[in-house]
Amino acid sequence: MADLILEHIKGNTYYIPLPTIVGVYIENGEAILIDSSNNKDSARKVLRLLEKNNLKVKMIINTHSNADHIGGNAYFKNNTDCKIATTKLESFFTEYPLLEPAFLYGGYPNELLRNKFLCAKPSKVDYIIKSEGKILDTELEAVELPGHFFEMIGIRTPDNVLFLADSLMPQNIIEKYHLFFLYDIKAHLDTLEKLKTIEADFYVPSHAKCMTDIKELIDININKIYEIAENVRKIYNENELLKETDILAKTDSVLEEICKIYSIKLDANQTVLLGSTIKSYISYILSL
C-alpha cells in the first residue's frame, strides 16, 4: 500500500482515501475517525499518518459493522486510548464479528468465510449512540441511513460535510459488479429517496470520491436496484417459482440466473453476500 494522505475537504473535516475511506474530523486538536479502515495493516498506516500530523485519536464512530468499516478498530484499541461508538444493533456485530459471516451464511461459517473480508477482529464498543441526532459530546451528527445494513448511519460534520457510509455506490462499481450487498431493499430505496432531500456542501460515500452533487448518482443506484428486482421477478415468473413451497428452495437457482445475466463469477465471499442479497430482493418483491 502506498503512503496515505490526509485529504482536506472543508474546515476541520478531512478524509483518508482508502478502498473504504476513513473520515477524520479534528476537534480540539484530536481526531475523531469515521470508520477505521478494513484491517490492522491499513489501520497502522492511518495511525502513523495521524501521528505525523500531531493528531491523537480520540474516538472512532463506526457507521456500521461490516468488516471493511470496523477492521481497524482492534488495532486502534490496542495502540491508542480511543473510544468506539456505534448504534445498538451494529454494536453486537462489532463486539462479536463472527455474527456477520454466520448471518450471511445462515449457519456456522466454515474457514473459507472466517476471513478479514467478512469477519473483523472483535472490538469493545464504549458508547451506544442513536441513529439520528447529536453524537455524544462531539459536534458531529448522526443521520439514519438504513437498508444496506441493520442500523447504518451517516455522519454530518459542522462543516456541512456528510459521510454517507455504504448508502450510495459509485457508478464504476455499479457498472462493473451490478449486484452489491443489501440487507433491506425497501429501506435502502427509502434511504436513497431521503438522500435527495438532504443538503450538504460535500458528500463522501465510503467507496467513492468526495462530491458536491449526488442526485444523478442516486438515480443510477435506484435504477439499478429496480432493474435487478425486475430481473429477479422475471426469473421467478418464467419458472413458475412464486409459490410458497418453492421460494426458499429455489433461491440458489435465482442467484445462478442473475449471475448469468450480469456475467458475475462468485468466490466464497461473494456467494454468501450475493446469496443473502437475492433473498432480500425476493422478500422485497413478495411485499409489493
**What pairing do the DSSP bridges indicate for beta strands 127-128 and 133-134?**
unpaired
Quick one: average pLDDT of 199-221? 97
**What are the pLDDT digits (tens) for 158-170?**
999 999 999 999 9
Torsion (CA) 20, 111, 103, 59 in degrees, nearest 10: -40
What H or E segment, with its residue span, contains residue 141? strand 141-144
Question: What is the pLDDT, as a whole number, of residue 286?
Answer: 85
From start to end of 3-77, where are the E strands? 7-10, 13-16, 22-27, 30-34, 56-61
**What are the pLDDT digits (tens) for 239-284?**
665 555 566 667 888 899 999 999 999 999 999 999 999 999 999 9
Question: What is the pLDDT, as a whole number, of residue 250?
Answer: 76
C-alpha span between 160 and 230 (Å, rounded): 37
Q: What are the extents of the domains in the chain? A: 7-214, 224-287
**What are the pLDDT digits (tens) for 126-141?**
999 999 999 999 999 9
Q: Decide if domain 7-214 falls under CATH 3.40.50.720.
A: no
C-alpha span between 243 and 267 (Å, rounded): 29
Question: What is the pLDDT, as a whole number, of residue 237?
Answer: 77
Question: What is the pLDDT, as a whole number, of residue 244?
Answer: 53
C-alpha span between 148 and 6 (Å, rounded): 27
